[in-house]
Structure 1
Amino acid sequence: MALEMRSDCERCTTGVDAGGVAWICSYECTFCDECAAAMQRVCPNCGGELVRRPRRVAR
C-alpha cells in the first residue's frame, strides 16, 4: 500500500510538491512545514503525531 501524496496543505492550502517538505499523520493528513510547526506537529484531525513525509523522486 502506497502513501497518497497530497499536493496541498490541509490547513492553509499552500502547495507541497512531491520533492519538498511536508508532514503527514498515520491517516495521511498533509500539512506544510509552517503549519506543522504551528500545530506542534500534532494532527488537528486525529490528534496523531505528524511525521515528515518521504520525498518522491521524479522518474
Structure 2
Amino acid sequence: MANLAKTLVLTALKPQKETVLEKTSRAVKAIKEEEREEREVKTARLRKDRLEKEEDALL
C-alpha cells in the first residue's frame, strides 16, 4: 500500500501540457468575458441616460 500511495502522489503532481483546443477555449472564454463586461457597462450607461431623460420629460 505504501508503494502504491507514493506512486499515485508522484504521478498526480506532473502537470499536463495544454492542448491547442484548451488554449483556444481559454482564449475564447477570456474574449467573451471581456465583451460581456463591456456590454454590461454600456447597458448601465444607457439605462442611466434613459432614466434621466424620462425624469426630465416628466418635469
Indicate the structure whose relative CO is greater, using CA pairs within 8 Å and at least 6 residues apart: 1
More strand by share: 1
Structure with higher Rg: it is 2
Q: TM-score range by the shorter chain?
A: under 0.3
Structure 2 length-normalised TM: 0.20
Structure 1 length-normalised TM: 0.20
